Amino acid sequence: MSSKEFNQRKREAFPEEVALKNLKELTEAERAGLHLLMIQTSDADEREDILAEAQKTANQRAEEAKKHSYAAVKERLTQEQTETDTELKAFTQHRRRHVKVLGKVTMMAGYFMTPKRIRPTKYYWLVPDDLVIPDRPLGRVAHVRGKDGQLQDVMVLYVTKQKQRQLQDGRVVPNQFMIEFTNQYASSVQVKQGQRTERQRQKNYRGPFDSAQQKHNRVRKVIQRHHRVREELANLEKSKKKDKN
């Protein structure tokens, strides 16, 4: 075989060369330089040393990249979680403002008299147990125990919802409805006025009208997003723990 033929013959690559080519963390120039060193030596041990050094550098870079990507992903997910939390909280507060069905409540009102009606100033959420408010309370009669301890008929003029409160004995009472009373059977004018006040209050709070279905769809999407973000964050932390171990 002539020297020309020998030079043209395709040389079989060393295993170390193939391994070096697969180290994508190194730049092309770095790989080319190390490759040149490898083919210039005939000592297999020396080639292995070059490869080991290259592998070490590649591993360090991969670890560094992983750290940066973990921090970036966590920051993005945390921000998204904060957004969904805020949206859900806003929806919940919005929902609580709406008067739906009252059913039974346990409450007693402390109040002072004005010429036309009793105006509540303070609420005790304990007694009487038998106080029943109808589903459509405006203009209806309710029995309430007054300051003198006697039960009396009062007329419900409007209803609004208050925050959760804790009683002195440590019991926590969930959100309850607050009522404004009149101490006599309301005239049709009073009832209409009460209804108008309540409608206006809800309208002012609610803003542009959304159908229940639109509201439901919007909130459902937020809830789905909320759960997805929580799951992704949990998986991210799990994978980090695995990598440490």
pLDDT in tens, 88-125: 776 655 444 332 223 333 333 333 233 333 333 333 32
Cα–Cα distances (Å) from 80 to 68, 91, 148, 229, 234, in that order, read 19, 17, 55, 7, 14
What is the average pLDDT value for the chain, to the nearest integer? Answer: 63
Indicate whether 67 pLDDT > 60.
yes
Q: Is residue 37 part of a domain?
A: yes
State what percent of residues in the chain have pLDDT above 70: 42
* 149 and 199 assigned to the same domain: yes
Q: Phi and psi (nearest 5°) for 142? A: -135, 150
More confident residue, 213 or 175: 213
More confident residue, 51 or 151: 51
**Residue 244 is part of which domain span?**
13-84+212-245
Indicate whether 201 pLDDT > 70.
no
- Give the pLDDT mean for 26-51: 80
Indicate whether 177 pLDDT > 50.
no
How many angstroms separate the CA atoms of 125 and 173, rounded?
7
Q: Is residue 4 part of a domain?
A: no
DSSP 8-state secondary structure symbol assigned to residue 11 = P
- Give the pLDDT mean for 162-179: 53
More confident residue, 62 or 127: 62
* 157 and 223 assigned to the same domain: no
Cβ atoms 18, 34 nearer than 8 A: no
Q: Give me the pLDDT at residue 86, please.
A: 75
* 130 and 197 assigned to the same domain: yes
Cα–Cα distances (Å) from 151 to 87, 108, 112, 131, in that order, read 44, 11, 16, 10
Q: Is residue 90 part of a domain?
A: no
What domain count does the chain have?
Answer: 2
- Give the pLDDT mean for 9-38: 76
Q: Is residue 174 part of a domain?
A: yes
* 193 and 219 assigned to the same domain: no
Q: Is residue 25 part of a domain?
A: yes
